[in-house]
Amino acid sequence: METSRINDPDTPPCGPAVGCDVVTVPARQGLEAIDILRRGPKDAVGPVLHDDGGDTLGFLVPPGTAAAWDVPGSTCTRTDGRGLRLAPEPPVEGSDWLLPPGEADLATDPAVLREALDEAARMIRAADSCR
């Protein structure tokens, strides 16, 4: 498994041997971001987890992303290759795959995800201001 459209050769790929970091966002913003990413290049969005309560989504990103992640309203959890592994079954109890590995083979490029989350936040603010 490799990342999509990532240009940094020092960023390791996300996959079974190295694990992935996870960017967690509110479900509404995450679903908007998925729509934005799916309108882009074919491999713009990788595997995505959702919690059973439906409150958050978790985007799998390359390991090391957490060190520089600073998007307001989201968190990035570092796994250092020790926890999250890509498998058909959800890696965390109380979660499930929204976009499972196999259907979404590439980890999401953190720069592309950042842009999509920013655009999603702007769309949500605009929609909420019309109420």
Summarize pLDDT for 70-80 with one digit per residue, the tens.
Answer: 999 999 998 76
Reported as type and span, the H/E element at residue 123 is helix 110-129
- Supply the pLDDT for residue 88: 58
Q: Which residues pair with 15 in a beta bridge?
A: 19
Residue 105 pLDDT > 90: no
Structure tokens at 84: 């999250």
Average pLDDT over residues 18-47: 89
Question: How does the average pLDDT of the chain come out, rounded?
Answer: 80
Closest CA to 1 of 35, 64, 47, 37: 47
Write down the pTM of the prediction: 0.80
Q: pLDDT tens for residues 76-92?
A: 998 765 545 555 566 66
Q: What pLDDT sits at residue 102?
A: 77
